[in-house]
A and B are shown apart, each in its own frame.
Chain A
Amino acid sequence: MSHAVETAGLYDCRDAWVKTLVDLAAHDPRIVAVVNDSVGSSKLGAFQKAYPDRLINVGIAEQVMVGVGAGLANGGQVPFVSAASCFLTGRALEQVKADVAYAGFNVKLVGQSSGVAYAELGPTHHSIEDFAWLRPLKNITVIVPADPWEVEQAIRWAAAHEGPVYIRLSRMPVPALNISDRVFTPGRATLARQGQDLTIIACGTITHLAMTAADELAAEGIQARVLNMHTINPLDEDAIDAAAKTGAIVTAEEAHLRGGLGGAVAEYTASHRPVPVERLGFDGFQPTGDMAYLFERSGLTVAGIKAAAHRALGRK
């Protein structure tokens, strides 16, 4: 499947994740993976094959999975705790809070199949609340890579960084972003397109849609700036200050409308830079449907982002 999507110009970001982790593990014996019977869904087969002793499978048990991650960090390892993000952040939230964030252990949490990647499986398997749950845990760096390049950068940075990190991955095929002179710096948004009429702030799987929407808006004579806000925590407040100066902001994310990227931008602008903000995301539990249907009904499409841009411009 991965090969098929790559020949279509689309990538399953899990391939970049495991390739990078295997590569890092070859040079750093502290790196281990911790999973909840999620070797397949985390695509960790290659890691398991290369380092069978360093793949710790605790079974279907998320609380002990995250606790074990903290303990491994106490023992000097660098654990990458990888599981479906709905269970990693939901089932084990108290362990994430107390054992990882509050205790401040050097644990890397890797949320797989985030957002609505498990579309038809329903809200129990969607992970759209994770940003809202993790953002108050201020010492966890929350990174949402948008394409394979960014996945590799994020994993490499996390391995070298001393402190808790949450990296939110998807299995949804995405294109490689066409951004020139790209540099990945956690906490600093990437300028994906320059523009001065309004700013579209997106992350993860939605970023490429925002870039296409901006291209189409340009054909209408509207110059939309696009920020790839790959880090939700800490938030790039300087970039938001600059975005506010364009007079209107649209946020777009594969996450809940409450408490995520849009919430963070609205909190900041309301306090420091009042400006119209149109937020795109999911407004609660989603009905049965495939990913395209769920994205469509919440405006997470090129057309939906353009419509939000017009609404935002109308409020300037």
Chain B
Amino acid sequence: MQNDTLKNDRGPLIRQKALWMRRTAFTMVHRAKMGHPGGDFSATDILATLYFGVLRHDPARPTWADRDRFIMSKGHASGAIYTALCAAGYFPEDWLPTYMQNDSPLNGHPNRNYVPGVETNTGPLGHGFPVAVGIAIAGALQGRDYRTYVLTGDGEQQEGSNWEAAMVAAHKRLKNLTLIIDRNRLQQGASTEETSSLDPLDQKYAAFGFDVQIVDGHDIGALLAALTAHSDKPRCIIANTVKGKGVSFMENVAKWHHGVPNDAEYAQAMAELV
């Protein structure tokens, strides 16, 4: 009951943080003339929910042994993870304009040695889930009660290493592990189903031994409930999302995978993101 109240209380804060994250990430991409804004926006609400409603963490102690871990496996959506970490207080806002500039800590893909709060270096797809499995095993070995979350893209699920990780996670019944799939249905050139189809993704993960839940990846209440649920098996949350969510001309348009806005597009996006 108290928990429900807390969740309800968090909704407005999470939505406010998500709006700031989208505006800030798009500003970073516009300034750098590089980035992956489509995937930033499909993942934004998931990250805002994690950092402001789910994770047990302390930005002042990024290596605290009992912290919950979040692994951003789709590391190209660096606008989303950097804005989430910055909003949470892991690094100051004046880092943001340096995004992808020479010698910036904010590389195009996150590096844990540059940015506090980044758990592992990602970029090549299919790396985050295996690392998350290792973190979950360490927690179980040590009897720690932290939880491990990993977010992959949906196209990223085409990498075979994910399925190696799924086998291990299910075999070891890693109940402290939650895989979140950003199911925006678009990869860089076309839809996932045209390219190398993923469906029925839920049945695949269920068959591997996961407790599978499908949610609207932009419904904060649904995300809060799904991300805080427990199971006796590893969890797989398929978050149905919209690539480019929040900006009318970007939504569900593949070219915004790594599209860069011109000044007029930037202005229109800022007018819509309010």
Listed in ascending order, the chain A residues whose CB lies under 8 Å from chain B are 32, 53-54, 56, 58-59, 61, 63-64, 66-77, 79, 94-95, 98-99, 102-105
Is there an interface contact between A104 and B113, defined as CB atoms closer than 8 Å?
A: yes
Residues of B within 8 A of A32 (CB): 141
Residues of A within 8 A of B133 (CB): 64, 67-68, 71
State whether the Cβ of B207 lies closer than 8 Å to any Cβ in chain A.
no
Residues of A contacting B: mostly: helix
B49 to chain A, nearest CB (A): 23
Count contacts between A and B, CB distance < 8 Å.
Answer: 106
State whether the Cβ of B111 lies closer than 8 Å to any Cβ in chain A.
yes
Is there an interface contact between B142 and A76, defined as CB atoms closer than 8 Å?
A: yes
Residues of A within 8 A of B189 (CB): none
State whether the Cβ of B238 lies closer than 8 Å to any Cβ in chain A.
no
CB < 8 Å neighbour of A99 from B111, B127, B142, B164: B127
State whether the Cβ of B135 lies closer than 8 Å to any Cβ in chain A.
yes
Residues of A within 8 A of B141 (CB): 32, 53-54, 75, 77
Q: How far is the CA of A92 from the CA of B151 in the complex (A)?
A: 21
Q: How far is the CA of A167 from the CA of B121 in the complex (A)?
A: 23
29 residue pairs from A and B, CB less than 8 Å apart? A64-B130, A64-B161, A67-B130, A67-B133, A67-B134, A68-B130, A68-B168, A69-B134, A70-B131, A70-B134, A71-B120, A71-B130, A71-B134, A71-B138, A72-B134, A74-B119, A74-B131, A75-B134, A76-B138, A79-B134, A94-B127, A95-B130, A98-B121, A99-B120, A99-B130, A102-B111, A103-B112, A103-B113, A104-B113
CB < 8 Å neighbour of A61 from B120, B132, B167: B167
Given A63-B160, A94-B124, residue A74 in contact with residue B69 (CB < 8 A): yes
A25 to chain B, nearest CB (A): 13
A70 to chain B, nearest CB (A): 5
Is there an interface contact between A75 and B168, defined as CB atoms closer than 8 Å?
A: no
B71-120 residues at the A interface, CB under 8 angstroms: 111-113, 119-120
Residues of B contacting A: mostly: helix
A64 to chain B, nearest CB (A): 4
Q: How far is the CA of A22 from the CA of B164 in the complex (A)?
A: 28
Contact indicator per residue, chain B 132-174, by CB within 8 Å of chain A (1) or not (0): 1111111101101000000000000000110011011001000
State whether the Cβ of B259 lies closer than 8 Å to any Cβ in chain A.
no
CB < 8 Å neighbour of B132 from A56, A59, A63, A71: A71
Residues of A within 8 A of B1 (CB): none
Identify 9 new A-B residue pairs, CB closer than 8 A, beyond the known A74-B120, A75-B137, A103-B120: A68-B130, A68-B133, A68-B134, A71-B135, A72-B135, A77-B141, A94-B127, A98-B127, A103-B112
State whether the Cβ of B209 lies closer than 8 Å to any Cβ in chain A.
no
B198 to chain A, nearest CB (A): 19
Given A71-B133, A72-B137, A76-B142, residue A98 in contact with residue B124 (CB < 8 A): yes
Is there an interface contact between A59 and B168, defined as CB atoms closer than 8 Å?
A: yes
Residues of B within 8 A of A69 (CB): 134
State whether the Cβ of B234 lies closer than 8 Å to any Cβ in chain A.
no
